[in-house]
Homo-oligomer: A and B are copies of this chain.
Amino acid sequence: MSEVHFDRIALIGIGLIGSSLARVIREKKLAGTVVVASRSSETLERAHALGLGDSYTTSNAEAVRDADLVIVSVPVGMSEKVAREIGSHLKPGAIVTDVGSTKKSVFEQMQPHLPDTVHFIPGHPIAGTEQSGPDAGFARLFEGRWCILTPPADTDEEAIARLTAFWLACGSMVDRMDADHHDRILAIVSHLPHIIAYNIVGTADDLETVTESEVIKYSASGFRDFTRLAASDPTMWRDVCLHNKDAILEMLARFSEDLSSLQRAIRWGDGDKLFDLFSHTRHIRKSILDAGQDVDVPDFGRHGAVLDAGENKSDPS
């Protein structure tokens, strides 16, 4: 696994994803040289202090010079600006990719500014935490997670194979699909959950009859699960909402329709209907556990994390 995949990798943006890539690239020796770029000199200094690259610059144009692989890890609303800056400085034959959560918009923003001499392959590693910034990254973030590539139909297959091999070396599994389908999947598995989480936390915070301190004290009864997603980076999520609007609005409409039906069942005391829905959803969690996409311990293993794991658990049943 410690083969050099690229002579020179440019990381544009060094937040949670960018800095995790920097760490795994270093750890697995996937590049000869890593150039780190951030528009914020403060972030760049932090990246330097963490030793995330071999050189550092606030100029994206400067960063991509002679790079074989350019990975853009910025909020999706910044994609066009970055493409404008780097377009004329890219090395012919370079692979340009990104890690944004929406793919159709990123393609439309970047493609017009990139020369025909480079291979532009939009990508999205389905990995992350609720934290952000260069300190939040870690090398194993991508391990066991999927990375989706959405190359347009005419993309060079060898370039796709090289980028696929890179992600596999990072620990990911790799899928390929068209951008529209990606955006629809992510709208339901990621964007809607985050929007719902932000919304319920906002609703709770606005109540007059229940205080914030009560919400916090009793949050272990369900609410706290939502607060993790609602602690995610606001800039990133604003941009996701603005750049995957159609698919998100479609999923929101379906969610609201289903919720109205559930609300009606509660109002009219339709216990059978409630029981059916509440039984029906259990198998999905089981499938997620079977697929290795979540931990197979109750309560996300929090008791193990908060208390000393198991030491006082009287029945390890």
- Spell out A's residues near B (CB within 8 Å): 23-24, 26-27, 50, 77, 101, 126-131, 135-141, 143-146, 148, 175, 181, 184-186, 188-207, 209-210, 212, 214-232, 234-235, 237-238, 241-242, 245, 248-249, 251-252, 254-256, 258-260, 262-263, 265-267, 269, 271, 274-275, 277-282, 284-288, 291-295, 297-307, 312-315, 317
Q: Are B136 and A298 within 8 A (Cβ)?
A: yes
- A285 — which chain B residues lie within 8 A by C-beta? 130, 201, 224, 227-228, 230-231
Q: Are B200 and A193 within 8 A (Cβ)?
A: yes
Q: Are A215 and B189 within 8 A (Cβ)?
A: yes
Q: Are A200 and B192 within 8 A (Cβ)?
A: yes
- A193 — which chain B residues lie within 8 A by C-beta? 200, 221-223, 225-226
Using A285-B230, A301-B302 as known contacts, say yes or no to A266 and B294 having CB atoms under 8 A apart.
no
13 pairs of residues in contact across A and B, judged by CB atoms under 8 Å: A126-B218, A127-B221, A136-B298, A185-B215, A188-B223, A216-B291, A230-B278, A238-B275, A238-B278, A242-B269, A242-B271, A252-B266, A292-B306
Q: Are A206 and B258 within 8 A (Cβ)?
A: yes
What's the least CB distance linking A127 to chain B, in Å? Answer: 7
What's the least CB distance linking A271 to chain B, in Å? Answer: 5
For A284, give its contact among B131, B201, B237, B274 (CB under 8 Å): B201
- A205 — which chain B residues lie within 8 A by C-beta? 280-281, 284
Top 8 A-B pairs, shortest CB-CB distance: A129-B298, A190-B221, A193-B222, A234-B278, A231-B285, A300-B300, A227-B285, A201-B281
For A218, give its contact among B24, B185, B194 (CB under 8 Å): B185
| Alpha-carbon distance between A226 and B292 when the two chains are bound, in angstroms | 16
Q: Are B218 and A314 within 8 A (Cβ)?
A: no
Chain B's closest residue to A143 (CB) is B307
Chain B's closest residue to A188 (CB) is B204
Chain B's closest residue to A292 (CB) is B306
- A317 — which chain B residues lie within 8 A by C-beta? 50, 135
